[in-house]
């Protein structure tokens, strides 16, 4: 049976929506100012925040499979960040000037 949310619940939902909207705007600005392969790994901090808030708010700890999966995902993101940084340094390296006569 559906029951309409009360005032406090509605206010919390509106606040969550506003924060998500601001987060989306920030994410769009980040993707405009840097290549996606550099920005995307920073989104992996969401997993860490989920663990922190899950523990603080609900006293729950992640299972070993959740931790293993998170480590694989975070590790691959860090590898991509490292690789893109290395490629960027190679592209910015000054080339030798041709000899002058």
Tell whether 8 is covered by a domain. Answer: yes
For residue 30, with 0-12 CB atoms within 10 Å meaning exposed, 13-18 middle and 19 or more buried, which class applies? middle
Total domains, the chain: 2
Average pLDDT over residues 36-41: 79
Residues 16 and 45 grouped into a single domain: no
User: Do 39 and 30 meet the contact criterion of CB atoms below 8 Å apart?
Assistant: yes
Cα gap 23→17, rounded to integer Å: 10
**What residues contact residue 85 under an 8 Å CB cut-off, 6+ apart?**
38
Residues 51 and 20 grouped into a single domain: no
Residues 17 and 56 grouped into a single domain: no
Place of tokens 């694989």: 72
Structural domain including 29 reads 1-33
Residues 29 and 4 grouped into a single domain: yes
Task: Report pLDDT digits (tens) over 39-58.
Answer: 877 787 888 889 999 999 99
pTM of the model: 0.55
Residues 41 and 10 grouped into a single domain: no
């Amino acid at each position: 049976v559906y029951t309409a949310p009360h005032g406090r619940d509605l206010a919390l939902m509106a606040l969550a929506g506003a924060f998500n909207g601001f987060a989306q705007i920030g994410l769009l600005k980040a993707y405009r100012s840097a290549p996606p392969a550099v920005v995307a790994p920073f989104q992996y901090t969401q997993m860490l925040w989920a663990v922190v808030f899950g523990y603080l708010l609900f006293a729950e700890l992640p299972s070993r499979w959740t931790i293993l999966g998170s480590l694989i995902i975070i590790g691959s993101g860090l590898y991509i960040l490292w690789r893109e940084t290395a490629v960027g340094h190679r592209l910015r390296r000054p080339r030798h000037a041709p000899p002058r006569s």
